[in-house]
Amino acid sequence: MIQASNLSKAYSTQVIFDDTGFTVNAGERIGLVGRNGHGKTTLLRMITGEERPDSGVISIPNNYTVGYLSQHLKFSEDSILKESCLGLRPSDDGRDESYKVETILMGLGFSTDDFLRHPIDLSGGYQVRLNLAKLLVSGPDLLLLDEPTNYLDIVSIRWLTNFLKCWKGELILITHDREFMDSVTTHTIGIHRNKTRKIAGHTDKLYQQIISEEEVYEQTRVNEEKKRREVEQFINRFRAQATRARAVQSKIKALQKKERLEKLSGIKDLEFEFVSAPFTGKALIEAKEISFSFDPEVHTLIDSLNLTIGKKDRIAVIGKNGKGKTTLLNLFAGELQPLQGAVMHHSQLRLAYFGQTNIQRLTPEKTVEEEILDAQPDYNRGAARTICGLMMFEGDSALKKISVLSGGEKSRVLLGKLLVSPSNLLILDEPTNHLDMESIDSLLEAIDAFQGAVVIVTHSEMILHAVATRLIVFDNDRVKVFEGTYQDFLERSGWKDEGEASVHNRQNTIKKGNGMNRKDLRRAKAELINDRSRILVPLQSRIAEVEEAITRLEQDMNHDTQALVKASVKGDGESIGRLSVSIHETREKIDVLFDELETLTGKLDEKSIEFEERFEALKAAGG
């Protein structure tokens, strides 16, 4: 158990913690929440000893290990696999447990081809993933994770979610992704008004408890202020009367003894709405057969993509990092031109773009107010200050220079720049990376209320479920349009890489032997049978549904075709037009279903072969 008692911490005049404490009990997985700048990372650094409290103590048992995801990138081995193995604890029986490392590397998005690469050849994001792999491999008693999803793609986040659900030790997690946090934690600690409070349960329960407690506090304060005024009126009325002197003195002493409840200071939320520009057309952007590559001889990022962005669309662009999501947004925005095909903008298009690189485009020497004025020169200072206030830069905070702002504050400046001119298409590239949970909630409300279209890149499944009604999916080295919600996608298609890490490492474990006994083999066989049923049966079921739907639509089209012939003979123009449209729409639906059928049957064949190979490998190992 970890015990924190009487903690206080301040930076200059800014108080972070004021005489507070908490405990972490065995097996608890704790989500740590609070506004940006309220001390979440500071608390983790105090637990590791990197920072010290001004007063109070954090008690950690002897021989208790604490693992913290370091942002300091220092590697000593010449391959990713060797570097990751540094985190392995020595095995009691001397068995080779490198398969555990491979499982974690695959789950975090590394391929088997990456295992022999030198760590310094990785991008910064993948070097952080390597550090995360070493940390997870080491199996500390207490695992501290500060925004681990910032450098992960959606497939890796899904893997990490399942990994942390099975974490046997203690865990403290900081993340802006509420769904990710709630799916893996058992308890929540909130940092609020310089205190910590802990509950068993998820974030919603904590926030509701805080709201309820503050409502009770405020009602109590109002009632006590009313009573205090009545007592003061009594004192003032009878102070000069000798017959009431004893009563007056009693009232004065009682009033002096009673502690006065101070009015709670307001905590400002990010509250805003995007201004919608009028649009009378049908399609804002049409992309026809667009292809793009930075090096066509090496790899094509986007190949023959067709897409129409309607005026009310909610489109999410999803996929692993480095596959072309941001490139596609830049093509839509006109910042890049396709090598083939065309991206056509409607004449009434008014586009607002929140891009990953836009933070770098802010001028360090300028103030928040000046950045807002640069985006809309027609604004006066009063109007600019209003936008600054909406973005939580009130009063003199609007005069802060960009160079002193945190990542979250810079993100709010960018959002503010989107508000100063009306738009009918929002393009948002991972807009939540530096926002806290409350600000993300406000952003989702603003997106929901926006009257135009939205195209968003995000790895947050919470946002995908909340926003998307269409998807652009980068998966299996292809990009395709999926007509449906994210839940529809998971149920009908899912990620090609989903589960491949565990499949690969189970197969590797069997092939290498790794000292598997009969019990291990029986368990591996049971898992293999379960995997086969879990993966193949839904594929077979969906294939049957698609084939049935195609048959039904073909029957409908044949019926309409016969009716069209009769209408042509009669010269019934109205029926001819209606039936022609119906036949065209049905043919398009059939084409979409045939594309899905081709993908499904290919995936079924691929998985069937894979399971046959695994069964053969299991037999060879004695199973």
* Digit-coded pLDDT (tens) for 565-590: 788 778 788 888 888 888 888 888 88
Structure tokens belonging to residue 104: 């974690």
Which residue would you say has higher pLDDT here, 483 or 298?
483
Q: Is residue 517 very low, low, confident or very high in pLDDT (cuts 50, 70, 90)?
A: low
| Most confident listed range (34-48, 276-290, 370-384, 514-528) | 276-290
Q: Is residue 266 very low, low, confident or very high in pLDDT (cuts 50, 70, 90)?
A: low
Fold match between 2-207 and 283-492? yes
Closest by CA position to 418, among listed 464, 476, 353: 353
| Torsion of Cα atoms, 167 then 169 then 173 then 178, to 10° | 40
Q: Is residue 498 very low, low, confident or very high in pLDDT (cuts 50, 70, 90)?
A: low
HSE value, Cβ hemisphere, 13 Å, CA-based, for 278: 1
- pLDDT at position 507, please? 52
Residue listed under structure tokens 């894979």 = 610
- pLDDT at position 65, please? 93
pLDDT at 499 over 70: no
In whole angstroms, what is the distance from residue 359 CA to residue 169 CA? 38
- pLDDT at position 189, please? 95
- pLDDT at position 513, please? 45
In whole angstroms, what is the distance from residue 522 CA to residue 520 CA? 6
CA distances from 52 to 69, 70, 361 (A): 19, 18, 36
Residue listed under structure tokens 């197969």 = 507
Please report which helix (H) or strand (E) contains residue 124, including its range. helix 124-138
| Most confident listed range (460-469, 527-536, 555-564) | 460-469
- pLDDT at position 451, please? 93
Calculate helix-pair angle for 154-165, 98-107, nearest 10 degrees.
Answer: 130
Q: What is the pLDDT of residues 194-235, one digit of tens each?
A: 899 999 988 888 888 888 888 887 888 888 888 888 888 888
Regarding the domain delimited by 283-492, which CATH topology (the fold level of the hierarchy) does it fall under? Answer: Rossmann fold (3.40.50)
- pLDDT at position 92, please? 63
| Most confident listed range (83-97, 108-122, 348-362, 495-509) | 108-122
CA distances from 97 to 102, 103, 169, 516, 566 (A): 9, 10, 20, 11, 73
pLDDT at 508 over 70: no
Q: Name which of 131-145, 210-224, 526-540 the model is least confident about.
A: 526-540
For the segment(s) 2-207, the CATH number from 3.40.50.300, 3.40.50.1820, 3.30.70.120, 3.40.50.2300 is 3.40.50.300
- pLDDT at position 512, please? 46
Q: Where are the domains of the chain?
A: 2-207, 283-492, 500-620
- pLDDT at position 515, please? 47
User: Given strand 142-146, what is the order of strands in its sheet?
Assistant: 66-68, 142-146, 170-174, 29-33, 187-192, 195-200
In the predicted model, what is the mean pLDDT of the chain?
Answer: 84
Q: What is the pLDDT of residues 146-170, one digit of tens each?
A: 989 888 888 899 899 989 988 989 9
Q: What is the pLDDT of residues 341-368, one digit of tens each?
A: 999 999 999 999 988 666 777 888 999 9
pLDDT at 445 over 80: yes
- pLDDT at position 388, please? 86
Structure tokens belonging to residue 329: 């947004």
Q: What is the pLDDT of residues 101-122, one digit of tens each?
A: 888 998 898 888 899 999 998 8
Residue 143 CB neighbours (<10 A): 23
Q: What is the pLDDT of residues 173-193, one digit of tens each?
A: 999 888 899 999 999 999 988
